[in-house]
Structure 1
Amino acid sequence: MDTPGNPPRITWHTTESPAGASYFTSIAAYLIRVGAEPQVIYDPVSDKLGQFGPLTQSGRALRNDGSRRTNREGKVNIQVEVLGRAMTPWTKGFDPAEKPNFRRLIAAGRAHGVPDAWPAGKPAATAAAASNRNRTTWQSKGGHYGHCHVPANDHWDPGAIDISIVPGKPAGSSTPPSTGGSSGTYTVKKGDTLSSIAAAHHTTVAVLVKLNSLKDPNKLSVGQKLKLPGSIAAQPLEPFPGASFFHTGRHSQIVTAMGRRLVAEGCGRYSSGPGPNWTNADRTSYAAWQRKLGYSGTAADGIPGKASWDRLKVPKSL
């Protein structure tokens, strides 16, 4: 990326083609053939998801803005080509609760620090309305953009998609779009794992196993009802283990639980994971959390301190 110090973003496109699994491979091949690959291609009908390259490297789906390479703007610029047409927004009738790959895509953006915001406003509903291509906004603010918002580009996709769905609200917020349950329960969807459910609801696999008396946490059934902990405040929290706990070579589920909370707070800077090994990605993510709390300079060094740890509310690893 040319400007890795600038905020991260996701840019949404539509392929201007029919949607459906039968078109997925041919459209992907076409994008490769013409040298216009994004990082990701997604079919909202079948929930098929494909990746052309690392999310941290440039895609090729945008025109340059003079000498400014818009594909390489920001810490990440995750471009997503969605099978469909701008004139008929693909979010109509779309239920994220039934689309685990869509939820994974949104979670990946959040893990890279992409805010749940549309800095340039809602995507344009018509080609004539696609006039908000402000360079200052594009270069200085992270979040979600449409192709219609990018300076020096003339496409107006993805159309008037529903921004309550894209990106929606993080799981565990007051009105999550796709938790699949209510009143402290969750309905297992296709593609769910116990670890993904735990991460989405700010808890741990061990807590869910104990709460639901699960004999085998690796065996879940679609439609199965799982009890959820009532709230973070009601869960036992991990006490601060001390700054010396966090060093290269540390392997602990406490690190995993911490990383999941950082992702939930929009501070995750992981290309994979989080996992139990303390890594530079954990330190970078925790530094983002410290900055979110108002720390600056050497105070945002990525090493947990008691005050910031207590505010993160890491669920206890049982």
Structure 2
Amino acid sequence: MDTPGNPPRVVHHSTESPAGGKYLESVGSYLIRVASEPQLIYCPVTDRVGQFGPLNQSGRALRNDGTRRTNREGRVCIQIEVLGYAKSPWTNGWDPAKKPGWQKILSAARSWGVPDVFPAGPPAKYPGAGKARSRSVWQSKGGHFSHGDVPGNDHQDPGAISTVKVLYKATAPADPAPTPAKPKVSVAHLVAAAKKDVPAAEGHTTYPTEVRIVEDALVAEGLLKREFADGSFGSKTVTAYAAWQRSKAGGSYTGSAADGVPGLASLKRLAARHAFTATT
């Protein structure tokens, strides 16, 4: 490149030909024959991409601006010929989100530091009056240009393509939020709480955090009134847990097996229904 210290850029062309089918091959061959090939050629119908040469070497699709070689402007001057007509912009009815081939082109341009901007403004409508071809903007600004923006050239392609669609950036779906770890409730702690809290003064707590998890589950099951879910494994909680043990969901226990003091099996059943983990 002649001016590698100048910003990197992309130049958009249109081939003034149909798209689809084998036009990518036929137009590509023609561009080689007439020594006017860019670095890339793209078909918006098939999403196919062809490459003529390295992106950091000069294309041949631009005219010089006097003695200044526009094909060699900037760190890179990546030129893209897109199959289509300037009078009917190829972005019409085209969905960039469904075009991985085009996304690869943009990714390659971005890898060379080409910013997602059109520093000379959006490409002009064709036919039309065209735009001023500012040498200062062309030489000093990085980003995307239309052929109609390049000084020393008289073509007005690619027409009024959508800059929003052209610069579309696919985003990866956000990683799902990690599932919070389930709280753990030790059956040994519950047994200890039942033994200590029942005979103690009202409101006494031994393992209040774990007891409260179980009490909230018993409230949800309709076995304990909300006002008694206070972290103390008192007599009301014992009665409620005994009702859980006797229930079908709790294991249909009877007799001393349904005394209101938790066992691991009944606790696991309760845990499975209320998002906590029962441990020994």
> Could you say whether these structures have the same fold, taking a TM-score greater than 0.5 normalized by the shorter chain as the test?
yes
Deviation readout 1:208-246 (Å, 9 max, x if unpaired): xxxxxxxxxxxxxxxxxxx74159xx9xxxxxxxxxxxx
Displacement of 1:131: 2.4
Q: Distance in 1 between matches of 2:54 and 2:176?
A: 37
Give the conservation status (yes or no) of the 8 Å contact 2:14–2:81.
Answer: yes
Q: Distance in 1 between matches of 2:32 and 2:100?
A: 26
How many pairs align?
178
State the partner residue of 2:202: none
Deviation readout 1:162-194 (Å, 9 max, x if unpaired): 0111112x334xxxxxxxxxxxxxxxxxxxxxx
Deviation readout 1:21-66 (Å, 9 max, x if unpaired): 3211110000000000000000000011000000000000000000
State the partner residue of 1:171: 170
Do residues 22 (structure 1) and 22 (structure 2) align?
A: yes
**Larger Rg over CA atoms:** 2
Q: Distance in 1 between matches of 2:18 and 2:48?
A: 14
Question: Which letter maps to 1:171?
Answer: A
Question: Which letter maps to 2:144?
Answer: H
State the partner residue of 2:7: 7
Q: Distance in 2 between matches of 1:15 and 1:4?
A: 28
Give the conservation status (yes or no) of the 8 Å contact 2:103–2:170.
Answer: no
Displacement of 1:99: 1.0
Q: Distance in 1 between matches of 2:98 and 2:131?
A: 34
Q: Distance in 2 between matches of 1:230 and 1:80?
A: 37
Displacement of 1:132: 1.9
State the partner residue of 2:116: 116
- Secondary structure of the residue aligned to 1:80 is strand
Question: Which letter maps to 1:22?
Answer: K
Give the conservation status (yes or no) of the 8 Å contact 2:78–2:109.
Answer: yes
Question: Which letter maps to 2:130?
Answer: A
Displacement of 1:118: 0.4
State the partner residue of 2:160: 160
Q: Tell me which stretches of 4 or more aligned residues in structure 1 moved more than 3 Å.
A: none
Question: Which letter maps to 1:60?
Answer: R
Gap change, CA 1:11 and 1:124, over 3 Å in 2: same
Q: Distance in 1 between matches of 2:111 and 2:41?
A: 18
- Secondary structure of the residue aligned to 1:110 is helix
Q: Distance in 2 between matches of 1:230 and 1:30?
A: 49
- Secondary structure of the residue aligned to 1:21 is coil
Give the conservation status (yes or no) of the 8 Å contact 2:87–2:127.
Answer: no
State the partner residue of 1:94: 94
Deviation readout 1:235-293 (Å, 9 max, x if unpaired): xxxxxxxxxxxxxxxxxxxxxxxxxxxxxxxxxxxxxxxxxxxxxxxxxxxxxxxxxxx
Q: Distance in 2 between matches of 1:38 and 1:130?
A: 22
Q: CA RMSD in A?
A: 1.5
1:294-309 → structure 2 map (5 Å cutoff):
none
The one of 161, 166, 175 aligned to 1:229:
175
State the partner residue of 2:140: 140
- Secondary structure of the residue aligned to 1:12 is strand
Give the conservation status (yes or no) of the 8 Å contact 2:42–2:81.
Answer: yes
Displacement of 1:96: 1.2
Give the conservation status (yes or no) of the 8 Å contact 1:21–1:43.
Answer: no
- Secondary structure of the residue aligned to 1:61 is coil
1:76-87 → structure 2 map (5 Å cutoff):
76-87=76-87
Identify unmatched segments of 5+ residues in structure 1.
173-200, 202-226, 235-318
Q: Which has the higher helix share?
A: 2
Gap change, CA 1:108 and 1:5, over 3 Å in 2: same
The TM-score, its normalising length taken from structure 1, stands at 0.54
Identify unmatched segments of 5+ residues in structure 2.
179-280
Gap change, CA 1:230 and 1:163, over 3 Å in 2: farther
Q: Distance in 2 between matches of 1:84 and 1:126?
A: 13
Identity, in percent, stands at 59
- Secondary structure of the residue aligned to 1:103 is helix
